[in-house]
Structure 1
């Protein structure tokens, strides 16, 4: 199942998509408005999330998801922290060597037992589908990074989403200690368009990922890859993120990227970034300078 967060008339609503149709779960209970609300119900009845949603379908109104001026898709997870893993694909390791004044450190991380795990965003820094992602005004080399996002309840994997780990390559490249500034800022992350339940994804390590970047309706970048190229497993990354850490009730862990535009490319304000993952959906955002 796919879970969507709708927002209109000033109040959120929770929708679920099955193989047949889309249902408004909020019509079954006015207190069931967010994905987090559904997780609270799951924790009480101690059942899988899809099983709880399934029990509500008979009483839920059928709807169609067509975002309009009065109603929009929001980030499917609205609370908790977002963290990210780096150097989990060979091309990512190569790209960060290229940009860095200390390239050997990325080889060490790529080959090390311990992965790179870093804090990425709070809800206030995160946007959803069709919202604007940010590029820093003090950076002259900025790129989007499409990543498989693991949605967690505590240390339990409950679903997957699409994540955009916006990055200032010029700031990080000048000194690795500037990583927080290169990664954490206003509108630095986007997630969506939904959460796909973990039980409905057969293998998270065999999913196609794609990204297209357009400027003035001209396609500047269009590439495809697969999560099968990731050198770390989802379970390994989750283990390092949750071990010895205080983990939010709901959080997202981005798992790294293997789609990196050429070194001569940088995002401009107004660009359209579209990225998708097989079985989950497509996340679209325009770019604004912050």
Structure 2
């Protein structure tokens, strides 16, 4: 099942897509307005999120196929924090070595037992589908990083989404200690368009992913990959994130990228980014300068 967050008249509504049909779960019970509400109902009843949603479908309002166009989805989950993992794909290791004044450290991370896991964003730094993702005005080299996002509740995997880990490669390349400035800033992250329940994905390590970047009528980047190229498992990255760490009840962990534009490319204001992930959907954003 896919779960979307809509906002109509300032009020949140939780919509579920199952077997190609859309249903308004908030119409079934006003106490279920967000995906977080569904997670808490799941914990109270000791049922999966899909089981709770399925039990409400009989009372939920059916929506037309155009509902997501008429009322575009917002950020699908208001996570307390978003973290990210780096150097989980060979191409990411190669790209960060190329940009860095200290390239050997990235090979060390790629081959080491301990992965790189770092803080990425708070809710007020995160945008949803069709909103503007940011490039810093003090950066000369900026790229999107399309990633599989893991949605966690009380440290357990409950779903998956798409994430865009916006990055200033020029700032990080000056010195690895500048990583927080290269990664954490206004509009530095986008997630969406939905949360796909963990129970409805057979294998998160075998999903096709693609990204296109357009500038006006020109497509500047169009490549695809598969999450099977990730050298670490989702479970390994989650364990590193939650161990010895006070994590929020609801959080998202981005798992790294293997789609990296050429070194000559940098984003500009007005560019359009589309990230697609098999079984989840497409996340679209416009670039703005912050």
Within the alignment, does 1:67 sit opposite 2:48 as a pair? no
Q: Distance in 2 between matches of 1:248 and 1:9?
A: 29
User: 87-96 or 72-81: which moved more?
Assistant: 72-81
Is the 1:158–1:197 contact (alpha carbons within 8 Å) kept by the matching residues of 2? yes
TM-score where L is the length of structure 1? 0.98
Answer whether contact 2:73 2:129 (CA < 8 A) is retained.
yes
Cα RMSD between the aligned structures?
A: 0.7
Shift in Å, 1:79: 3.1
Which residue in 2 is equivalent to 1:95?
A: 95
The answer for the alignment partner of 1:236 in structure 2 is 236
Aligned to 2:197: 197
Match of residue 50 from structure 1: 50
Q: Distance in 1 between matches of 2:168 and 2:114?
A: 24
Cross-structure match for 1:133? 133
Q: Shift of the alpha carbon at 1:19?
A: 1.0
Alignment of 1:111-260 (within 5 A): 111-260=111-260
2:126·2:190 contact (CA, 8 Å) conserved in 1? yes
Q: Distance in 1 between matches of 2:139 and 2:62?
A: 46
**Whole-angstrom distance in 2 between the partners of 1:171 and 1:114:** 24
Which deviations, in whole Å up to 9, do the C-alpha atoms of 1:144-174 show, x marking residues without a partner? Answer: 0000000000111000000000000000000
Give the conservation status (yes or no) of the 8 Å contact 1:159–1:198: yes
Task: Give every structure 1 segment of 4 or more consecutive aligned residues whose post-TM-superposition deviation is greater than 6 Å.
Answer: none
Structure 1 residues 239-285: Cα deviation after superposition (integer angstroms, max 9, x where no partner): 00000001111000000000000000000000000001000000000
SS of equivalent residue, structure 2 residue 134: strand
Q: How many residues align?
A: 288
Q: Output the CA distance in 2 between the equivalents of 1:37 and 1:163.
A: 22
By how many angstroms is 1:31 displaced? Answer: 1.9
Corresponding residue for residue 7 of structure 1: 7
If the length of structure 2 is used for normalisation, what is the TM-score?
0.98
State whether residues 5 and 12 of structure 2, in contact with CA within 8 Å, keep that contact through their aligned partners in structure 1.
yes
